[in-house]
Amino acid sequence: MQLVINTYGAYLRKQGDCFLVKNEDKTFEVSLRKVDSILITTGAYLSTDAIKAAIDHNIEILFMDEFGEPYGRLWHPKLGRVNTK
C-alpha cells in the first residue's frame, strides 16, 4: 500500500506499530506492515520517529513538488532490499 499525504498541514507520526495521520479534526491509523511507500506532496509534517520507523521497515519516503515531480526520497541505507516484513 502507498500512503499518500497530500493535504497541507497534515501530520504523520508513529504510534505503536502504526503510522498515525492527523489533519485538523480527522485522524486515522495504518499498520506499518501494510505500507510499502509514503508519498508526501504538500506542506506536511513528519516526526523523526515516523521517519525512523519507515527506514527500519524498508518503507521508502518520496517527496513530490506541487506539480507531482519527485525532488527527494529516503530509504534504507544498505545496498539491496532488506525484507523486514
Determine, yes or no, domain membership for 39.
yes
Percent of the chain with pLDDT over 90: 78
Number of domains in the chain: 1
CB 34 within 8 A of CB 54: no
Determine, yes or no, domain membership for 82.
no
pLDDT digits (tens, 9 = 90+) for 26-57: 999 999 999 999 999 988 999 999 999 999 99
Determine, yes or no, domain membership for 42.
yes
Alpha-carbon distance of 59 to 55, in angstroms, equals 6
Instruction: State residue 32 phi and psi, 5-degree precision.
Output: -60, -35
Residue 58 has pLDDT above 80, yes or no: yes
Determine, yes or no, domain membership for 6.
yes
Determine, yes or no, domain membership for 7.
yes
- What rounded mean pLDDT belongs to the chain? 90
Q: Which amino acid is at 51?
A: I
| Domain coverage including residue 7 | 2-74
Name the pTM for this structure: 0.84
Radius of gyration of the chain (CA): 12
Can you give the CATH number for the domain in which 19 is found? 3.100.10.20
Determine, yes or no, domain membership for 83.
no
